[in-house]
Amino acid sequence: MINFRKSNFNEDYAEILIDNNQKVIKLIWKTYVNFEEYKFTFENAYKISKRNKLKFWISDMRNGKAVTIKAQKWLRNIFIPKIVQLGFTKIELL
Question: Residues 55-70: pLDDT tens digits?
Answer: 999 999 888 888 889 9
pLDDT of residue 20: 87
* Domain count of the fold of the chain: 1
Inter-residue contact 44 to 28 (CB < 8 Å): no
Q: How confident is the model at residue 13 (pLDDT cuts 50, 70, 90)?
A: very high
Distance CA 94, CA 89 (A): 17
pLDDT digits (tens, 9 = 90+) for 44-57: 999 999 999 999 99
The answer to whether residue 49 is domain-embedded is yes
The answer to whether residue 24 is domain-embedded is no
For residue 86, what are the domain limits?
Answer: 35-94
Average pLDDT, the chain: 90
The answer to whether residue 5 is domain-embedded is no
The answer to whether residue 2 is domain-embedded is no
Angle at 85 between CA 32 and CA 52, to 5 degrees: 70
The answer to whether residue 52 is domain-embedded is yes
Inter-residue contact 59 to 94 (CB < 8 Å): yes
Distance CA 72, CA 59 (A): 14
